[in-house]
Amino acid sequence: MCSQFQVKLPLHIVEASFSHTRFPLRFPMGRLNIEPRDEVTIGDSAAVVVGGEDGPEMANLPFAWKAPNGRPVFNFRSEGRRFDSSRRCLIPASGFFEFTEAQPGQKRKTRWLFTLRDEPWFWMAGIVRDGAFALLTTAPGDDIAPYHDRQVVVLPPTAGPDWLDLSRPEGELLRPLEADALAVERVFPPLEPTLL
């Protein structure tokens, strides 16, 4: 499952996604600097948007909380659950990674980068517990199914606020995108350049 994602977008783009809502994005701890990151992994802190008493707020939270057995909870299955009383969050990302078996001659697993077609970034739906966040997952869509049997919930930039303010039913949001919405690129091992 998704244990790594990348963030390559400036703060003003995230902030602008709330400009059409009744509540602008707030910064109770001061404006965060979203530095470009090729990889955010379990245990790293990342900028997320949470629902606050006065509307959406940006916070810096660690990725994954600890389960009772001490293992990190970084993905959380959405099917068959209600999140009315959960502390919801949105994680801005420019891509996320999935892994498949190693290519012949390689020891490390093959790493694939998924991005949203025709958009430089997207949201991943999540929840917060114990001061940390986890990504919600669903059954895989057509774009992810060849690579994994689960996928993170990806929301286009305009749909993110709906997850925080409960303006749409959960079932409309916590599902895979339509086919061909995600682009995929093999990033390890790198593809050999073709000679013409």
pLDDT of residue 17: 83
Q: What is the pTM of this model?
A: 0.90
What Rg value do the Cα atoms of the chain yield, rounded?
Answer: 17
pLDDT of residue 140: 94
Nearest to 49 by CA among 75, 23, 71, 74: 23
Backbone angles phi, psi at 2, to 5 degrees: -70, 110
pLDDT band at 158 (very low <50, low <70, confident <90, very high): confident
pLDDT band at 46 (very low <50, low <70, confident <90, very high): very high
pLDDT of residue 193: 62
Task: Give, for 134, the enclosing helix (H) or strand (E).
Answer: strand 132-138
Query: Each residue of 61-86: pLDDT tens digit?
Result: 999 999 999 999 999 999 888 888 88
pLDDT of residue 155: 95
pLDDT of residue 116: 96
Whether the predicted pLDDT of 14 surpasses 60: yes
For residue 189, whether the previous peptide bond is cis, meaning omega lies within 30 degrees of 0, is yes
Give me the percent of the chain exceeding a pLDDT of 90: 54
The answer to whether the beta carbons of residues 113 and 184 sit under 8 Å apart is: yes
Alpha helices in 103-169 (DSSP H): 160-165
pLDDT of residue 21: 76
pLDDT of residue 96: 96
* Mean pLDDT to the nearest integer, 142-162: 92
CATH topology of domain 4-188: hypothetical protein yedk fold (3.90.1680)
Residue 124: CB partners within 8 Å, gap ≥ 6? 2, 5, 90, 91, 93, 96, 135, 136, 152, 153, 154, 155
Query: Each residue of 16-27: pLDDT tens digit?
Result: 888 777 788 888
pLDDT of residue 161: 86
